[in-house]
Structure 1
């Protein structure tokens, strides 16, 4: 199993990033997190996702390509 933490501003681009991961076989892992970035005046989001893969994990693999 591999793990990714998707992050970004709280906007439609972040939702599309999570939706793209889900459409590529990733599964949500836990609830999303939100925090206010006072320095930039925006909300930031994070969502963990996991995926079962058939090859051994390697630190060199690009997780988004799995």
Structure 2
């Protein structure tokens, strides 16, 4: 199973999403990393904590399925 970072890399390289669109979803889900830090996390240049990985996972889900409504 891919890590959230690997999934993000695959989706970006495959044209499914972009770093910018994924970052917007990340921020909408409570993420706090600025754009350049976020990109560094995706490509493994910076380590991140569990919170950022969870929020990245939510952002990936939202980009794949659209925002969840309650």
Query: Which has the larger strand fraction?
Result: 1
What range is the shorter-chain TM-score in? 0.3 to 0.5
Give the number of the structure whose alpha-carbon radius of gyration is greater: 1
Give the TM-score taking structure 2 as reference length.
0.32
